[in-house]
Amino acid sequence: MEIKIGKVEKRLNEIIEEEGAVYLTLLDPEEENIEEIAEKVKDYADAIMVGGSIGVVNLDEAVKQIKKITKLPIILFPGNVDGLSKYADAVFYMSLMNSSNTYWAITAPTLGAITILKYNLEPIPMAYLCIEPAKKTAVGYVGEIREIPQNKPKIAAMYCLSAKFFGMRWAYLEAGSGAPYPVNNETISLSKKLSGINIIVGGGIRKPEIAYEKVLAGADAIVTGNLLEENPNAVEMMYEAIKKAGKEKLKNR
Q: Which residues are annotated as a binding site for sn-glycerol 1-phosphate?
A: 172-178, 203-204, 225-226
What is the structure's pLDDT at 104? 97
**Angstrom distance (rounded) from CA 195 to CA 116:** 27
Q: Could you say which architecture CATH assigns to the domain 7-251?
A: Alpha-Beta Barrel (3.20)
Residues 6+ apart with CB under 8 A from 232: 33, 36, 37, 39, 40, 41
Out of 29-43, 48-62, 100-114, 206-220, which region has the weakest mean confidence (pLDDT)?
A: 48-62
Q: What mean pLDDT is reported for the chain?
A: 94
Q: Where are the domains of the chain?
A: 7-251
Q: Which residues are annotated as a binding site?
A: 28, 53, 172-178, 203-204, 225-226
Query: pLDDT tens for residues 111-124?
Result: 999 999 999 999 99
Instruction: Enter the pTM of the model.
Output: 0.96
CA-nearest of 143, 135, 62 to 108 is 143
Is the preceding peptide bond at 133 cis, omega within 30 degrees of 0? yes
Query: pLDDT tens for residues 206-245?
Result: 999 999 999 999 999 999 987 776 776 789 999 999 999 9
Element (H, E) at 134: none
Q: Which residues are annotated as a binding site for Mg(2+)?
A: 28, 53
**Angstrom distance (rounded) from CA 187 to CA 150:** 7
